[in-house]
Structure 1
Amino acid sequence: MTLFVRCFADFTIEVDGVPVELSPVRRRARTLLRLLAMHAGRPVHRESVVDALWPQERAATARRGLHVAVSSLRGYLTAHAGHPLVDRVGEAYRLVLPEGGGCDVALFRAAIKAGHHRVAVELYGGDLLPQDGPAEWVVQERSMLRHQAATAAVRLAAAELERGEPAAAVEAATRGLELDRYHDGAWRLLIEGNRRRGDQLGLAAARRRYERALASLEGS
């Protein structure tokens, strides 16, 4: 049995490629699961969890709510995913995957650290946990991962140009601009990639779009 957790774009837990139905789990317990999954195996201190999910509650009430959420999650996930996933480490909680399991955020971070730009770009399937909107506990991490993905795409585009693969460079630069439309390096690589592959229409379009992006920055 293979278990995989996805946090980019729609949050899912998959067992052998089949999503686990999480709607029966209470809303706050599901949010707790996403918060722990976002940190991908790194412990999250109990007080940080309480501050994020029970900000208006008294300490005793919040901690009791956390205990109930953890217990319900462990029971449900053991029954439906074959593993409790949530573990306590001292005063912290973390997501623990079974042997052979994986999490897209953890794999993405590892790819970024190792400089494996193509792998990182492929793993980044969309913004981190978009269903949680502007929740304070996710906004900063979401922005950082998006920036890392854009940077990886630009570095991949530069590497493709060096390898003499302008079409692949254009594709990577385009992905970088989808993530950061004002990334100057991505625009320059897109323009150069189109120039090297002899795509005059693409070159002209890229230059016009770049000029519009610059104009919008100047007007803001």
Structure 2
Amino acid sequence: MSIDAPRVPPQRAANHGEVANTIRVITLGQFAVLRDGVEIPHPDWQSRKARNLFKLLVCRHGRSVPREVAADLLWPEQPGPPGNRFSVALSTVRKVLDPSHRHPADHFVCAEDGAVRLRCENVEIDIASFLRLSRDATVAVSRGDWSRAEDLLRSAEQLYAGEFLEEDQYVDWAVPCREEARSAALGVLRMLAHVSQSRGDPLATVAHLQRILELDPYDEAAWLDLIAVESAHRHHGEARRLHTVYNLRMLEIGVAAAPLPPVSMVGPGVSNESFKPLPFRDPKGV
């Protein structure tokens, strides 16, 4: 689950007249739209507003957005009826997704009753797949089906290449979707850490706990588990260093930090109160 997302390699289209019927949207770690496996070049969007309209529709997960609401979000400096500018942006989005008009106009983006929505049944979106895998893994864990849960967790981990729409960190309408994905990612990592811990794999456990803290540096449970793992394997210097950083993070949010466990309390194969299985919480919003 890398925080630095790999870029989509450029590809050249080889159009032999086939119907363009596959649209894949990448939102985790970067934003890219692939038409039949080929990334749509940035200039094809013609305007930032058209690109942002499509992103907004992706954020809505197929739910309708009234034209007036969309216009207010995309053109906050121009209040009032959406007018022609919204129609132009919508037309541009449809043209980008289906430049040869091989589908009905509403095949990818439907406009009806004064609202627009993305027809998700005709579009593959990574965040939708990621959230579905996370939910299914949580259900599998609740049923004790660890084999299925681990397969789902590994697939989810691969999909979460970074935060949702990283290039739009300061866009308010992207925040709910970003937080939903981050919460789900934290849940996936907690469960993977538990799996690694149960198997006696400290390196994998530490890696997953560190990734949790990359996403949420104030996750006290992850700090305490990480410190306990290092102490349990007699990495006392690393445990002390981590505890110092943990203290600083808790101080930043006004939380009293737990003391560093005495060396005598921990060691390989020795039970420690703070070194216990991670809780399986249904990630918020998932």
Calculate the TM-score normalised by the size of structure 2.
0.65
- Residue aligning to 2:125: 103
- Residue aligning to 1:210: 243
Give the distance between the partners of 2:154 and 2:220, measured in 1 at CA. 20
Give the distance between the partners of 1:139 and 1:45, measured in 2 at CA. 19
- Residue aligning to 2:183: 147
The one-letter amino acid paired with 1:88 is A
* Aligned Cα root-mean-square deviation (Å): 2.7
Give the distance between the partners of 2:100 and 2:224, measured in 1 at CA. 49
Gaps of 5+ in 2: 1-20, 139-151, 254-286
Counterparts in 2 of 1:26-175, with a 5 A limit? 26-60=47-81, 62-79=82-99, 85-97=108-120, 101-114=123-136, 115=138, 116-175=152-211
Contact 1:167 1:194 in 2 (8 A): no
Contact 2:227 2:242 in 1 (8 A): no
Higher deviation after alignment, 162-171 or 29-38: 162-171
Higher deviation after alignment, 33-42 or 170-179: 33-42
Gaps of 5+ in 1: none
Matched residue count: 215
Query: Between Structure 1 and Structure 2, which shows a larger proportion of helix residues?
Result: 1
Q: Alpha-carbon deviation of 1:193? A: 4.0
Q: Alpha-carbon deviation of 1:80? A: 7.3
Counterparts in 2 of 1:186-197, with a 5 A limit? 186-194=222-230
- Residue aligning to 1:179: 215
Q: Alpha-carbon deviation of 1:29? A: 0.5
Give the distance between the partners of 1:80 and 1:170, measured in 2 at CA. 50
Contact 1:8 1:128 in 2 (8 A): yes
Contact 2:95 2:101 in 1 (8 A): no
Q: Alpha-carbon deviation of 1:13? A: 0.8
Q: Which has the larger radius of gyration?
A: 2
Q: Alpha-carbon deviation of 1:9? A: 1.8
Give the distance between the partners of 1:2 and 1:80, measured in 2 at CA. 13
Contact 2:131 2:184 in 1 (8 A): no
The one-letter amino acid paired with 1:176 is I
Give the distance between the partners of 2:77 and 2:244, measured in 1 at CA. 48
Contact 1:36 1:44 in 2 (8 A): yes
Give the distance between the partners of 1:214 and 1:144, measured in 2 at CA. 28
Counterpart pick for 2:31 among 3, 6, 11 = 11
SS at match of 1:23: helix
1:22 aligns with 2:38: no
CA deviation string 1:48-80 (max 9, x = no partner) = 3122112232433x2422111111210222027
Give the distance between the partners of 1:191 and 1:81, measured in 2 at CA. 58
Calculate the TM-score normalised by the size of structure 1.
0.82
SS at match of 1:59: coil
SS at match of 2:34: strand
Contact 1:20 1:81 in 2 (8 A): no
